Structures are given as structure tokens and as C-alpha cells.
Amino acid sequence: MHQESPAAEGPVSAAEDPVPVTRIVDHGTAKLLPDIDRPRAWLLTVDGAPQSYVDLDDPTHLEFEYVRRLAHVLDEAAPEGQPLDVLHLGGGALTLPRYVAATRPRSGQDVIDSDRGLLDLVTEHLPLPDDSEPDDCDSGITLHAQDARAALEAAPEAGVDVIVADVFTGSRVPAQLTSIEYARAAARALRPRGCYAANLADSAPFDFLRSQLANFAEVFAHLALIAEPSVLRGRRFGNAVLLASHTELPIAALARRAAGDAFPARVEHGSALRRLIADARPVPDGQALPSPTPPDGAFSVG
């Protein structure tokens, strides 16, 4: 999908032969790698782990399967085109904020990322829509170099429609975002009909995923999980999108969207999730752990 060339530090442009950009950021070595098949599309990696894929010409093109599943949630969060207030925990290359800005103009989006160097790299080389243009070109995206947990706890009560959590330190979700206290903070920040959506990763026997479901089941009335069947059956390590809401989730609509993907996924809910949770208990801050380390080669880029 991408090509390696000598690292460069010039601004990314629509040049015929764009070259990779490499920079040491706050939490590792970031690279922007051009896609040879799409002229202004870029893959962001940090320490070799894929973080984001962005097509500047078509922000609705979503390369990663789990990102498409998160986008399905955003698509179903309100009628088509209706603006949303979204809190993004984790920025990466701002793939989903760009998607929401394109599909739901005039949305208000706050993006939280603790890596100021990464935010600077992305905005310098993969600029957002120009905020100096007329209102219908305003991205509505505001960036904050902050700790995700601290920002969530400081967010106004019942202030957002959707929280999208995609926070990884290296290739692991940090422990401060895996506790029952964190789940309660998310519930406080959401509006009554709001939805929480998180990208997680695990494999059988799903000790981490079960603990996360137990946390959110303690706080929210409705849960769902979107993942490929091979992941749900424990055949491989992979991503799973956890959904939580105080009100009923659009299960049927999400299932249709997930089933129609190039790599079809299933939406689990109700009794299937209760069986998966089994005897797992909510995890307090003092016992919280990061998500498991992926097996070698699970998400790396050569």
C-alpha cells in the first residue's frame, strides 16, 4: 500500500512522487508514508505500528476495517447530514474527524491527543480544511494536546453526542483508560441519547475485552461489540469496537453496515455479550492494566 523512500521533512504536496516524512514525536518515531495507488493518501505509523490512513482528496475513504466500523456508528448516531458534537480521544492523522467534517458539516469536534509533536506533524503535513474559508468549509475540528483521561473528566456534563476512543500508547490501550472510573467519566460526558465507541484489541480467552465489557455494563444499559467472526471465535488477535449507550443502539442498521464491508463483521449484543462477560468484574483504577501486547507482526508495517 505504501512505498519507502529516503525520509523527507518538506511539506507534503501533490507532487508526482511524494516521499515519506519521518519525525521523532513525543511518544516515538512517526512516519507518513505515501500510498502509491492514491495520489494524496498517506499512512501514519508510530514505531512501526499503523495508526491512521488519510486520503486528503477523499476523507470518506476509510482504509482500516475498524475505522469503518467506528464510522458506521457515527453514521447511525443521527439522521444523515445532521451535525454532531463529537469528542475524539486519540488523534492520529485525524481520519474520523475529517470524515465527520465531510459527512456532517457544521459538526463540533474536539480531538484530544497527548502527543503534541504528533499533532504538529499531522497538521503541518496533512492540513485540515482551511478555517479561513467560508463556514461550509470550516472543519469544526479543534485540537487539544492533553491527556485523554484528564480531558474526559474535565469535559462538560452531558456535552457531547458521541465519544470515539482510539487511544494507544504504542500498540496498547493505556491502563488509565481501562477502568470502571473511566467508564463512569464517559457516561457523565455523554448526552442522554449519546453513544460511546472504542477501538480495542484482544484475543482468546478475551480477559481484557471481557473486563472492558464488565466496566461499561456497570454504567450503561446497552452494549454491543463489532468484530470480524475470526476474532470473535478466538482464531486470531484483532480489533473489536465496543459500543455503549444509555438508550437502545441501532443494532439492525449497524449489523447491515458491518456485514456489507469488504471484510464483514458481526454485531454482538444482548445474551451473546452476557455470555462473553460471564464472571468478569469491573476493574477499579488501582487494578487496571493496559490492553494486551499484540503478537509479533499483528499490526506492524515493514
482528496: which residue's cell?
A: 57
Rounded to 10°, the helix 95-103/65-76 angle is 40
Q: Is pLDDT of 230 > 60? A: yes
172 sits in which H/E element? none
The confidence score (pLDDT) of residue 132 equals 42
User: Given this model, what pLDDT does residue 73 score?
Assistant: 98
- For the cut 50, the answer to whether the pLDDT of residue 5 exceeds it is no
pLDDT of residue 187: 98
Overall average pLDDT of the 88-106 stretch: 97
Nearest to 166 by CA among 53, 59, 255, 79: 53
- Provide the grid cell at 122: 499531522
3-state class of 143 per DSSP? strand
- pLDDT score, position 130: 64
* Ranges 22-31, 110-119, 121-130, 215-224: which has the least confidence: 121-130
Tens digits of residue pLDDT in 265-274: 999 999 999 9
Pick the residue with more confidence: 296 or 54?
54
Scanning the chain, the segments in alpha helix (DSSP H) are 65-76, 95-103, 116-125, 148-154, 180-189, 207-219, 229-232, 251-259, 271-277
Q: Is the pLDDT of residue 219 over 50?
A: yes
Share of the chain above pLDDT 70, in %: 90
- pLDDT value for 148: 98
pLDDT, position 171: 86
Mean predicted confidence (pLDDT) in 177-188: 98
pLDDT band, very low/low/confident/very high, at 83 (cuts 50, 70, 90)? very high
Contact, 56 vs 122, CB < 8 A?
no
- In the predicted model, what is the mean pLDDT of residues 65-75? 97
Cα–Cα dist 290/171, whole Å: 10
Q: Is the model's pLDDT at 302 over the cut of 50?
A: no
User: What pLDDT is recorded for position 136?
Assistant: 46
- The whole-number pLDDT of residue 296 equals 77
pLDDT band at 52 (very low <50, low <70, confident <90, very high): very high
Beta bridge partners of residue 244, listed in sequence order: 196, 223
pLDDT over 50 (residue 190)? yes
Query: Considering Cα of 268, then 270, then 271, then 277, what sign does the dihedral take?
Result: positive
- State the CATH number of the domain containing residue 209: 3.40.50.150
pLDDT value at residue 299: 59
Asked if residue 205 has a cis previous peptide bond (ω within 30° of 0), the answer is: yes
- 18 within some domain: no
**Residue 204 within a domain:** yes
For residue 168, the enclosing domain spans 61-287
Sorting pLDDT into bands at 50, 70 and 90, what band is 131?
A: very low
233-239's contacts with Cβ under 8 Å and 24+ in sequence apart are: 234/203, 234/204, 234/205, 234/206, 235/204, 236/203, 237/201, 237/202, 237/203, 237/292, 237/294, 237/295, 237/298, 238/201, 238/203, 238/298, 239/65, 239/66, 239/199, 239/200, 239/201
Q: Which residue has the cell 507532487?
A: 15
Overall number of domains in the chain: 1
Specify if 300 maps to a domain.
Answer: no
**What pLDDT score does 139 carry?**
83
Within a domain: residue 175?
Answer: yes
- Domain-embedded: residue 38: no
13-27, 59-73, 179-193: lowest mean pLDDT where? Answer: 13-27
The answer to whether residue 3 is domain-embedded is no
Q: What is the mean pLDDT of residues 47-71?
A: 95
Give the number of C-alpha atoms closer than 13 A to the C-alpha of residue 204, restricted to the C-beta side: 8
Q: What are the cell numbers at 124?
A: 503541518
State the Cα–Cα distance between residues 30 and 17, nearest whole angstrom.
20
235: in domain: yes
Residue 194 domain-assigned?
Answer: yes
